[in-house]
Structure 1
Amino acid sequence: MSRYDLRFVGATSLPSRLSDFELDQYFRLSRTDITALNNNFRTTHRAGAAIFLLFLRNASRSLDLSVPVPRALLRHVGIALGLSTPTLASLRAMYQRPQTLYAHQAWAKSYLGLGDIDQSASSTLEEYLNAHAEEVTSVDELVTSAELWLHQHRYLIPSERAVRDLAFRCYSAAEQAIYRVITTVIHRDTLDRCREAVFKVREGNAYTVLDWLKTPPKGHGPTTLDETLDKISFLKELNVHAWALDHVPLEKQRGYSQHIQHRRPAKSRQIRSIAATIELVFFLRITLFELTDSAMYQSTRRVAGFVRNAYQKAQSAKATTAIAYRDRCLSIRDILQQQNRSAEERLADIATLLSDIGDSPSRSHAAEMRSMLVNDAGRVRTLLKALHSVDFEGVKSDPNLQNLATLRDFYDCRQTELPEDQIVPVKSTWRPLVEATDRKRALQALEVATIMELGKGLRRGSISIPHSLSYRERDRLLIDPVEWGQERARHLAMLNLPEHPHEFLASLLNTIKAGLAAVSEAMQDEMLHIDDAGLLHLQRLEALPEEPEPRKMIGLMFRQIGDVQLPELMLEVDAHTNFSEILLGRRAYTEQELIALYAALIAHGTEIDAKGVASMTPQLDPVEVNMAMRTLETQGRLRSANDRIVDFQMRHEIAKHWGSGESASSDMMSLDASRHLWNARVDPRRRTHAVGIYTHVHDRHGIIYDQPIVLNERQAGAAIEGVVNYNDSSDRVRLQLLSVDTHGYTNVAMAISKLLGFDLCPRLRNLSERKLYLPRRMEGPTDLKRALANEVSLTAIRKGWDQLLRLVASIRSGRVSATVALQRFGSAAQGDPVHRAADHLGKLLRTLYLCDYMTNVEFRREIHTILNRGESVHQLQRAVYYGRVPPERGRRTNEMIAISGSHVLLTNLVIAWNTHKMQETVDRWQRAKQPVEETWLRRIGPAHFSHINFRGTFKFSVGRYADALLQPRTTPLRDRA
């Protein structure tokens, strides 16, 4: 069932305003319904019975009899039944006899198959909530889960108090179980020591250790890294890294950690309960994990800085050498032109001029860079010593791990030279520097070689860090080997993949043969040609004929829609979708709480900060905005709210003209940021510091997934992660095609995406990537020979097939994210059997894709259209967030996720509101017999923003939508049959 379909579940009344769209989606009477009503009720009571039926179907709870039924619903029911209904009435007023009212309510329950929950079902529900309580982070979420379970299993939802009491009991039981595990793993004295250490005031400072731990990294310089490593050392002194709490779900740990993160330390110190202990333990543990990841990222940035500095010095040295070479040549020419001197004298002068040139051959640019890095070994040594507090683990035979241990021993002994007889396993490129006669310089070369290889080892998984989230041991990331052996068949059935690769490869190769034949035929038709370098060139796509009608129609449509203020837009969409209920975990109690939530969305999703939004919103204090901003950092809520808005937008009939629902595009949009932000990098296009937001845009325009990422890194993992997240819901049309640009794909990514059940379709920028790869012994058409590369090893695919399936199953089951998986098994893992199998399989899949791309003009046009649609949504995103991320924001991972999610939610609000208004306009035109061609509707879209005022004074007229958005102050007693 769609997330949008669930918005009325558990409600006791309806909002006074219901749009025609909502009536059509929720309150449509089928022919069977109308027949049953006509056969069972007299004309005078038919409308009341119909309202009972419609409300119970949507809410699974009895309607409050004293609340007036919405006028639009009364009119809608009257039209459907052919009756004259009152314009304003409650159900109690529509019935003269209470017995008749209760009888009709009982009939509606029976007709819908709804029954009161019995003891057996109650026990089943309690078991479900006990299991679900291990994942959720609040009682409110558990209440919602209970209501949804009852709705889906055709039970009437009991009173709110009964459901909440059950949810609280299950949540408390889960909390008690976690507390028992904690006290088993951690001694009581250790817990007391941790509490005392965290809440005491730091020496030389006016704030507590807890404040210090909560402070995110400020920048990416040495001072920030040193402070991060100091925090790691402090937490390890408390033995946090040794707490074996992995079986508690990570999201549950994050939820408890956020509770203490969002609370003032003085308030946390006053609380002494089981929950407070759990919060403290998981705060320390999650903080250690995140600080470790942050330290590794900052270290990588510093190493990149060393390399960049060495590159610049090597370039400068190369330029100096070139100038010196030219000066020598000019001097030799001058000597040769001195005709008044003898040849012997001139040769002697030339020999003197060249006497300082050594016999050693000239070095490559890379060798010159390595030499420059060794000259800068002082900073490298400082970094290696700082990383002494990090526990690096891995395969004992890993050469880099051995070198790390060797260097640590040298530092402990204050050794400054590499012993002559010391054998160190380094790459051949570093061997000449490590074996140099200058043993001090040899030690410096070993340090540089070690720090350069450390990052690669972490990325490919040969080196791991146990107290980390991103760099854990590979077997902890993937499905356990024993579990994989037992559950392999079940996972393969879910993935719809064969157990052995023969069947998969045979079908793939047959399809490739047909594709190559089509390419050969296209060459004969001069649709493409191969140049002397063996690269394929395509003819440009012809532009579609200009159609003025859609352009005129969209202009007229938005003139009729008119201008709108952002607050009014947010309120109207919230009234249709109740996304605020998801963000808060319940309906807002007061107007002030709801307005603060909207302000927090604006503060996170635009460049305006909390103080700025509060000053633009009457009667709102910055403290209220800051508290609401922390609420938005709760894991998963922004994603769920975005899903509900996108579901609402896609339900409109006009959206079905824009796409089939089976394709999407993904790309990164950069947000300008301060250069002092630790995770900001330089955007290569605009040459400004920025952070990235990676978004997936559906072919019906809505943004279905977002993820903050770091600029200048491969985006293939994020591209796959978005599709896996979207396809994970069984109530949607699954995505079959994802269009990306060159940065969003690799050969490994193409293989993993195909095994996950969808096609990764890149628009390739480089012609060199358009080679057609085939197995080593496979023959292709003769006229394509120059473009073919027989480099694919089927043996490599077969050898790595089982572990490749294990990797894919781990992604599909949510054990590891695609982003982390692609980092571990990407280019850094070259030589690994899994990477080799995925790389070779990806080359075959890329060949098949290129055959379709080159020969099917409509397919190529579709890829470009989907990507261009994503670019149009990016323009809207930039209108929403046109400034820069200030240095004090985006430092914490949760805050960056909240910025990304809030920004996307505001964008989706605009798209959904535009779609809704466009649908209303089209319906109005059709009722007026004004011609609207379907081909015109396909050529327009909802990513317009010129009619929306995103700034100014924010006035939220909550009163107009209070009955739809606010929780009633008192829960009325409901009449029950």
Structure 2
Amino acid sequence: MSAFAYRFVGHSSLPARLSDFDLAHFFQLSKDDIRSLQEQFRDEHRLAAALMVLFMRVAGRTLDGFTVIPRNLLRYAAEAVGVSAPSIASLRAIYRRRQTHTAHQRWAKDYLGLSEITPADEDELTVALKLQAQDAAHTDDLIEAAKQWLFARRILIPSSFRLLDWARAAFSQVEDQIVACVSRALPGVRGKQLIHAVHTLRPPGDATHLEWLKTAPKKHSPTTLAQTLEKVRYLKSLGTHEWDLSDVVLARQQAYARQIRVRRPVKSREIRTRLQLVELVCFLRVMLLELTDTALQQAGRRSQQLLRAAAERAQAQQGHEAVDLLKQAVQLKGVLHDETKDWQQRVLEAQRLLAGIDASADAGRSFASRVRAALAQDAQRVHACLAVLEDLDFQGQAKDAGFLQWQAWRELQQRSVGSLPPGSALPDVGPAWNPLVHGTDPKAAWRAFEASTMMALRKSVRRGSVWVDHSLSFRERDQMLISPQQWALHRKEYIAQLGVPETAFEFLQPVLTTLIAGMWGVVGACRRGKVEVGKDGMLHLSALAAMPNDREPARTRDAIYRSIGSVQFPDVILEVDAATNFSDVLLGHRARSQQELLALYGALLAHGTELDASDVALMIPGLEYAQVLAAMRSMESAKRLRRANERVVQYQSGIPLAALWGDGDKASADMMALDASRQLWNARVDPRRRTYAAGIYTHLRDRWGIVYDQPIVLNERQAGVAIEGVEQYNRTEDRIRLSLLAVDTHGFTAVGMSLSKLLGFDLCPRLRDLSQRKLFLPKPFSIPEELERATDRRVSLRAIDRGWDGLLRLAASIRTGRVSAALALQRFGSAARGDPVHRAADHLGRLLRSIYLCDYLAVDDFRREIHTLLDRGESVHQLQRAVYSGKVATERGRRPDEMQTISGSHALLTNIVLAYNTGKMHETVERLRSGSVRIEDDWLRRMGPAHFGHINFRGTMHFGIDRFAQALLDEQSGPARQMRLV
């Protein structure tokens, strides 16, 4: 179930005020309910029994822990069962006898099919919690998991104390297993020696090794790369890469590592040795994995940077040569037109000039060959880039070109050669590098071989044919996918999960039929003059006709937002939290005090805006810097932020007005660049604004909620992260699945289009270049004569068939969660050219793109829908920039989990604004319509909730928590405490 559906599960009370939305979505009596109540109870007891049914249905536990009943719930229930509501909205006023209360509980439990937990149920729950505890960060997560497990099985949720005992027991059992695993990895005194080693000072004695390891990489530079690999070498010297921690799941290792990161080293020394060793071992292991990934990413960027510099030098050299040629041509013209000399003298002098031109102009060289030569001449920096990676234990496929060149380079490097020895047996470097590597000059040949090795190794690492075992993202490809043995045994089951045919022939038959129908649709559009096949062989189409210039929607929108009025951002956060309780998810429990809730809001603002902890502490009265910092550290859990976002999105999309904006089965995805310091190592220069930035990639549903977010690197293809967002969203069964995702050109590749189709949705790009507007077809394929010039017969059905099994295995690995779509597209993307799986996906993607283009060109409504989805994404980007108006601080975002927290918090704040606006728009529209003001649904469809001019995001922030205390604070603590029924 979705996170929002569990909002009231496990609660023992209700807020004093219940929103109309909650009343409509959670507390409704069906006709069968009303009939059963009328048959079973007299008038004086019917209302009480109805309240018991309503509460137990959504909470999963009995109604016996509060005295106040929301008045609108009381009125609704009384009206539904046909009795008058009492003037006092109190449980004590309704239940004057405990026997009646107990009898109603028993009847409601039987009527709803709820049962008490049995010993067998408890054993099964214990096993489930033990599995959950493998990657849980806190017992609060297990308590929530227990509530949801019991609720899904229609078992009454017992007391909070009993839930806490189960959670602690499961957590303790898993912790004992982890301690045993760590003890096996570091037996005897090795654990104490490890603790002592990491807490010793490292030269020059200003910090311990642990503090040094916790320091995140700074700006991108050769020095940073060297420092990162120095940490990798230190970790390997401790034997970290040899520890067998296979019994500890990665998520749990990361949770322990997070504890070390957020705690001062002196505090770590104070905890008991057993737990200290577990946390330390997991921290060191996670650091090795993350630092190895970071080093390989930095090395790849460095090699690309050297290649780009070589291209710039080659281009400059080419320009200088062109200028020299022009000068020589002018000089030659002057000689030939010199009337003071006879024709024989002019011919002889012209011959001398032409001989010089032939010698200096390298007419036969391509630009690519010039770049390779320039890269080979940059010997010092190329050598440094390779030498710094020498201590990494690269593994590779036996025949991989990059791996073979790396092995040969290491062997020659150990012999300290500065030139290629005569008769050296070198691996094949390819025809492009052969002239340089096998030249006559041994030193130049060595420089060329190093450059060739650097580029070949980068490509092999990207496609996964070369890997490092102690890595997260750069592991062997087969380790990421379903193992060949598992695939052979359960192939049919995996394919059934995908819902696609087992053979390529069965899959391609309807695809080709659809393609034929689509081409005839384009022919019809050509005959109507909407599409034209140009002389360049490209398909050209006219712009979409503008919507009627009706001023009423704009005027109505302005009137609605004027009616909503100006509001402070803290009030927006509080109202949405009261409606969704996203703070419960972020904390892992209901807030126990106003100060705890205030610190959470401060942390959310510090992560999700340009403000830092000190800024937030100054802007929120009564909040201290240390409280904000502690809350920020506790929020660095991607799962909690994801669930909090789900709650807000589900609430926003459930508002009736949102149904006018879409059916909920379509979305768009795009990147927003957050300005960042150049000190952030993974920042890139935004080509539009020419500033350093980090990317936040968001998926916006057609009902205007951000359903998925993830940080990415600028200037890289986004097809993988686009697919990942939809796949993650579609995994929850009780929500409408996304069937269409609109993206821009950066979010599209042919391989990505194939994988998205196999995963059950369509990737629909708004292509920028006309060169993309060709129809790719198989060779033996008949087409209408009008489209002959606009087709390209470069699709091989045989290639699709040969790689079909591997392609299905790749898609099934994504579906089962073994590998993310983003990582899969990196390993099987353009770097994997020549691989059968890439070839099959590429050719299938060309076919699918042709079908999509036919619909895009011929069907105006479809094209308008794609543009509308993408335009909504741009509107939300403006709101996101209003929320995050500055840039990422210098010291922020250097670690993956920190950048993920920034992305999730920013998406949550954006969703809060969208949910608030949607709710207020709906209330305003209903109020205006009740006053006989005409507001058409078509007008509302052309509006959106991404407005922010009425919200003040800056200045002193006052959170009036008192107004929402009963909805947001634990009823057993502080001002929200309520008396239990006696």
Pick from 370, 373, 380 the counterpart of residue 372 of structure 2.
370
Residue identity in the other structure for 1:912: A
Report the equivalent of 2:446.
443
Report the equivalent of 1:665.
668
| Structure 2 residue 616 is the aligned partner of structure 1 residue 613 | yes
Report the equivalent of 1:570.
573
Residue identity in the other structure for 1:305: Q
Listed one character per residue, the Cα deviations across residues 813-847 of structure 1 (whole Å, up to 9, x for unaligned) are 11000000000000110000000000011111111
Distance 1:242 1:972 in 2: 55
Contact 1:65 1:92 in 2 (8 A): no
Listed one character per residue, the Cα deviations across residues 110-145 of structure 1 (whole Å, up to 9, x for unaligned) are 211122111111111112112222232211101100
Report the equivalent of 2:880.
877
Q: Which moved more, 1:564-573 or 1:924-933?
A: 924-933
SS at the partner of 2:207? Answer: coil
Report the equivalent of 2:956.
953
| Structure 2 residue 170 is the aligned partner of structure 1 residue 181 | no
Gaps in structure 2 of 5+ consecutive residues: none
Listed one character per residue, the Cα deviations across residues 488-521 of structure 1 (whole Å, up to 9, x for unaligned) are 1111111111111111111111111111222222
| Structure 2 residue 375 is the aligned partner of structure 1 residue 379 | no
Listed one character per residue, the Cα deviations across residues 205-240 of structure 1 (whole Å, up to 9, x for unaligned) are 322111111111111011111110100000111111
Report the equivalent of 2:910.
907
SS at the partner of 2:636? Answer: coil
Listed one character per residue, the Cα deviations across residues 626-681 of structure 1 (whole Å, up to 9, x for unaligned) are 11111121131111100110000011111101001110000111111112211111
Q: 1:524 to 1:377 in 2, by over 3 A?
A: same
Contact 1:528 1:536 in 2 (8 A): yes
Contact 1:255 1:635 in 2 (8 A): no
Q: In the TM superposition, what are the counterparts of 1:649-664 in structure 2 within 5 Å?
A: 649-664=652-667
SS at the partner of 2:781? Answer: coil
Pick from 572, 578, 582 the counterpart of residue 585 of structure 2.
582
Displacement of 1:350 after TM fit? 4.4
Distance 1:337 1:108 in 2: 110
SS at the partner of 1:387? Answer: coil
Residue identity in the other structure for 1:866: L
| Structure 2 residue 107 is the aligned partner of structure 1 residue 110 | no
| Structure 2 residue 270 is the aligned partner of structure 1 residue 270 | yes
Displacement of 1:752 after TM fit? 0.4
Report the equivalent of 1:250.
250
Q: 1:210 to 1:87 in 2, by over 3 A?
A: farther
Residue identity in the other structure for 1:365: F
Pick from 903, 927, 935 the counterpart of residue 932 of structure 1.
935
Residue identity in the other structure for 1:415: V
Contact 2:257 2:282 in 1 (8 A): yes
Distance 2:206 2:342 in 1: 84
Distance 2:945 2:414 in 1: 64
Q: Which moved more, 1:176-185 or 1:685-694?
A: 176-185
| Structure 2 residue 246 is the aligned partner of structure 1 residue 240 | no
Contact 1:459 1:823 in 2 (8 A): yes
Report the equivalent of 1:422.
424
Distance 1:87 1:370 in 2: 87
Report the equivalent of 1:160.
160
Pick from 577, 602, 605 the counterpart of residue 605 of structure 2.
602
Distance 1:301 1:171 in 2: 42
SS at the partner of 1:181? Answer: helix
Displacement of 1:86 after TM fit? 2.8
Displacement of 1:551 after TM fit? 1.5
SS at the partner of 1:636? Answer: helix
Pick from 726, 739, 756 the counterpart of residue 729 of structure 2.
726
Displacement of 1:270 after TM fit? 1.6
Residue identity in the other structure for 2:141: E
Report the equivalent of 1:213.
213
SS at the partner of 1:270? Answer: coil
Report the equivalent of 1:332.
332
Contact 2:800 2:841 in 1 (8 A): yes
Contact 1:74 1:87 in 2 (8 A): no
Displacement of 1:275 after TM fit? 3.3
Distance 1:354 1:513 in 2: 58
**Count of aligned pairs between the two proteins:** 976
Q: Which moved more, 1:328-337 or 1:532-541?
A: 328-337
Report the equivalent of 1:392.
394
SS at the partner of 1:670? Answer: strand
Displacement of 1:11 after TM fit? 0.8
Contact 1:2 1:732 in 2 (8 A): yes
Residue identity in the other structure for 1:544: M
Displacement of 1:924 after TM fit? 2.2
SS at the partner of 2:803? Answer: helix
Displacement of 1:292 after TM fit? 1.1
Distance 2:822 2:247 in 1: 22
Contact 2:181 2:247 in 1 (8 A): no
SS at the partner of 2:323? Answer: helix
Report the equivalent of 2:409.
407
| Structure 2 residue 228 is the aligned partner of structure 1 residue 228 | yes
Contact 1:720 1:753 in 2 (8 A): yes
| Structure 2 residue 774 is the aligned partner of structure 1 residue 771 | yes
Listed one character per residue, the Cα deviations across residues 539-595 of structure 1 (whole Å, up to 9, x for unaligned) are 211011122222222111111111111111111111111111111111122211111
Contact 1:251 1:635 in 2 (8 A): no
SS at the partner of 1:389? Answer: coil
Residue identity in the other structure for 2:80: A
Q: Which moved more, 1:447-456 or 1:396-405?
A: 396-405
Distance 1:487 1:826 in 2: 26
Listed one character per residue, the Cα deviations across residues 82-132 of structure 1 (whole Å, up to 9, x for unaligned) are 332234343223222221121122211121112211111111111211222
Q: 1:480 to 1:274 in 2, by over 3 A?
A: farther
Report the equivalent of 2:968.
965
Distance 1:174 1:975 in 2: 38
Contact 1:62 1:974 in 2 (8 A): no
Distance 2:743 2:635 in 1: 30
Query: Which TM-score applies when normalising by structure 1?
Result: 0.97
| Structure 2 residue 516 is the aligned partner of structure 1 residue 502 | no
Report the equivalent of 1:434.
437
Contact 1:179 1:274 in 2 (8 A): yes
Residue identity in the other structure for 2:692: H
Distance 1:936 1:342 in 2: 86
Displacement of 1:357 after TM fit? 5.2
Displacement of 1:192 after TM fit? 2.8
Distance 2:363 2:772 in 1: 35
Query: Which TM-score applies when normalising by structure 2?
Result: 0.97
Contact 1:693 1:709 in 2 (8 A): yes
Residue identity in the other structure for 2:767: L
Distance 2:30 2:728 in 1: 34
Residue identity in the other structure for 1:13: S
Gaps in structure 1 of 5+ consecutive residues: none
Displacement of 1:930 after TM fit? 3.3
Report the equivalent of 1:27.
27
SS at the partner of 2:704? Answer: coil
Distance 1:567 1:661 in 2: 29
Distance 2:471 2:454 in 1: 19
Identical-pair percentage: 50
Residue identity in the other structure for 1:391: D
| Structure 2 residue 727 is the aligned partner of structure 1 residue 694 | no
Distance 1:380 1:839 in 2: 33
Distance 1:445 1:438 in 2: 11
Displacement of 1:531 after TM fit? 1.1
Report the equivalent of 2:301.
301
Q: Which moved more, 1:461-470 or 1:959-968?
A: 959-968
Displacement of 1:48 after TM fit? 1.6
Displacement of 1:160 after TM fit? 0.7
SS at the partner of 1:475? Answer: helix
